[in-house]
Amino acid sequence: MILVTGGARSGKSAHVEGLVARQYSQVLYIATSTLTDDEMAARIARHRAQRPAHWRTLEGYRDLGALIREQPQPGEAVIVECITTLLANLLYDESGGADPDTLDFAPLEAFLHQQIDGLIDACQQSGMPVYIVTNELGMSITPENRLARHFVDIAGRVNQRLAQVAEEVWLVVSGIGVKIK
């Protein structure tokens, strides 16, 4: 498993796509975004346009471990884009969209870690190379609202777990990837 992290618009996607394209012609791209509005539709379209047309794309964010066990074809590399979006989607689903001030984050975080553990297990058992993209959220000020603070904390702990088990970790800043593990 190779983890690629960095800030928003740091060039993570282009970096991971470049890493993969140099070594593999066949790729399964697992996109975790959901179409929620016109702005998100434009983001999704921009990401689709920058990927080679022959790469296979699956869209989903739940039970990615099962996708990685079942979907890759022989010789394919896998890209998961991105963990932060996956966490946001799962957190929203599991909370039922409830008022953040009423949420008990401990069981929500436990569920998110179960999903990540399933992903890690699948990556470790897979014979396919798996590249995972995530956002580094901890390089700014502490957010002012409860939901954002908990989300940054959860994402930080998930990223630490992923980095701990990854074979390689890349940090992308201003479009430049630096291998940190």
Q: What is the pTM of this model?
A: 0.93
Give catalytic residue positions: 47
Whole-angstrom distance, CA of residue 97 vs CA of residue 76: 36
Percent of the chain with pLDDT strictly greater than 90: 77
Q: Strand, coil or helix: what is 84?
A: helix
- Which structural domain, as residue segments, surrounds residue 127? 2-179
Q: Strand, coil or helix: what is 2?
A: strand
- For residue 23, what pLDDT band results from cuts at 50, 70 and 90? very high
Q: Over 80: is that where the pLDDT of 175 sits?
A: yes
pLDDT at 140: 80
Whole-angstrom distance, CA of residue 177 vs CA of residue 37: 31
Task: Residue 110: give its domain's CATH number.
Answer: 3.40.50.300
In the chain, the number of structural domains is 1
pLDDT at 19: 96
Q: Over 90: is that where the pLDDT of 5 sits?
A: yes
31-90 per-position pLDDT tens digit: 998 777 888 778 878 888 888 889 999 999 999 999 999 987 889 999 999 999 999 999
Quick check: 65 and 119 in contact, CB under 8 A?
Answer: yes
101-118 per-position pLDDT tens digit: 999 999 999 999 999 999
Q: Return the structure tokens found at 20.
A: 């993969």
